Structure 1
């Protein structure tokens, strides 16, 4: 069992097979356009969980722990863990945004434009969308470029590296702060209304 579950790719494949089985076994007879819009919603939520989960990992675990890590152990994080986590972090952010637009457009009312212009009935989801867009832009245009310098992926002098680390951390904290109202808006639209 450890050989199977110890391999991430095998575990992912098992999960995808179970997902396909659940989809076909539970909903084969209703796989119309509305169904596929809900599949897009599922993918949007999955990407969002990956994105925000990594944001919370950085803010709850990695950033507060790094000052306590002995200097000789820090390269294990900065050379191996952080770059991999940032890969999934930035691509999950992009996937979340793109899938979110697909969800909005594939819904029966095609509400993306109404939400982004904060029209009545779509104001709550619209605010959530704008917060998500700001956060995704922050990931790609502030956090990632600064993390590349802070982690040594792009070579800069030590003072630029330190400034970049601080900038990336502050941008990550801003995203952490924005994630709370963003998540509220995403959930509230469906369960409370616009």
Structure 2
């Protein structure tokens, strides 16, 4: 390799590192801006109260969550606010990732990436919202009713935060099922016909996943298993149209 070629490769590599740094800075600034807004209004305390409301509603009247750590009343609302900032800024973060890789893609590949970035963001947020508004209430009510009369249910705020974060993350990921189906079909790894042939196994798998990531009650399991199956079916409906729209010119011949 000549010195000119090596110098060109080095400059190209450095320019890509600079571009990556700029995109990471912009993504971080987006999260920071959202975080500042949330700290200003409505504030970490109000955000945590909103997040804790499903648990409070399932407890006896007048009961509250407890804090066993000295700094927990301060740190836990901060963590919740940072997490919410990331979720709200997720479209901006993914856009920066898209903008970084877009210059190196063909036109048909750009048609593939952009919808995936947008749909992934929306589906993840939809999964978190579904978990909070529809699942938490049922789960906490089941736990409160199942507890013996000799036990006073007073969850610690840090344990509660860990639980809801894991649940929201699990639901957010499982709502990405249509994206996974579309990508597998588009890349040719699995065909739509093959997915249809293994539909029964997919339903069993969705039920198994729901049984693992949700508390051990039928309502919670069904609340996750049924949406996963429906999202799988949506992926099968969307995949053929998506494949056709993102074909390279030589693939259309």
Which has the higher Rg, Structure 1 or Structure 2?
A: 2
TM-score when normalising by structure 1: 0.36
